[in-house]
Chains A and B, each alone.
Chain A
Amino acid sequence: MDPSLALEQTLQDISNLEAEFHHAYEEIGANDGDIQEHQKKYMQKDSQIQKFIKQNGAIAEHPNESELNRDMQSELKEMLSLQKEKCKLANTALFMVAKHLSKLERNLTILEEDGVLAP
């Protein structure tokens, strides 16, 4: 192996990395936008309950409380699912670049050991 070949190989390996990164982070951003929407709905329902408690005390139950609680739980579940997806995407992007970097570092070590590349 010589340095120029190693460079060519690396460039070939990472030729798609730019597109993969853009895709991953766009997906993360899109999911985050969806989470924000769910968060808004969650807060709206929560504020209905909080407002009722302020006006009527902590004992009185909001007429739609169980329905509101169910909806809020559903929003939370959706947000958690989207967030886990975002974590997966972020970890995948990290893994991709780490894999390529690791391979490059191994190649550099070989070249240094062979004496064709200064350490």
Chain B
Amino acid sequence: EYEGLREKLNKTLLQKKQLEDEFDALQQEIYDKETEYFSNRTIATASGALKHVSTPGNIIKGFDGFTKSHSHHHHGGTASAASSSLNLNSLNTNSDFPIENSDRIFSLSSATFIKQLQ
């Protein structure tokens, strides 16, 4: 019974480690998606070509100005996304669409992320 319990505990500890890794991976994915969402805004046109757009509304800022402004083209230079590792010192490098930390409401909903920021 003792050995059985020990084995059970070891298995649970291993499972815990796997879940911790899964959690870290998800946090990273959320961070990267936010960077992608707020910086590289690329849509496909009717002809199939890709163009960078600046839409005036999103889930963070709201959609109030959506019908007022129109998308416009960006020529030359591809917006570079931030480093995919959770490098909090080098956020979005696209100066046209600067990402404020406060925009990252999804990452900021995790106290672990806030601790890392601090």
Q: A11-B66, A15-B63, A97-B59 are in contact. Are A22 and B109 (CB under 8 A)?
A: no
Query: Knowing A21-B105, A22-B105, A25-B105 touch, does A11 contact B63 (C-beta < 8 A)?
Result: yes
User: Do A35 and B59 touch (CB < 8 A)?
Assistant: no
Which one of A14, A15, A25, A32 contacts B111 once the chains associate, using CB atoms below 8 Å?
A32
Majority DSSP secondary structure for residues of A touching B: helix
Q: In chain A, residues 15-70, which have Cβ atoms closer than 8 Å to a Cβ of chain B?
A: 15, 17-18, 21-22, 25-26, 28-29, 32-33, 35-36
Question: What is the CB-to-nearest-CB distance from B101 to chain A, in angstroms, rounded to a whole number?
Answer: 13
Chain B residue with the shortest CB-CB distance to A32:
B111
Is A110 at the interface (CB under 8 A from chain B)?
no
Task: Report if A29-B114 is in contact (Cβ < 8 Å); known contacts: A11-B66, A17-B59, A18-B59.
Answer: yes
Q: How far is the CA of A17 from the CA of B114 in the complex (A)?
A: 24
Q: What are some 11 contacts across the A-B interface (CB < 8 A)?
A: A8-B67, A18-B63, A25-B108, A26-B109, A29-B109, A29-B111, A32-B109, A32-B110, A32-B111, A32-B112, A35-B111
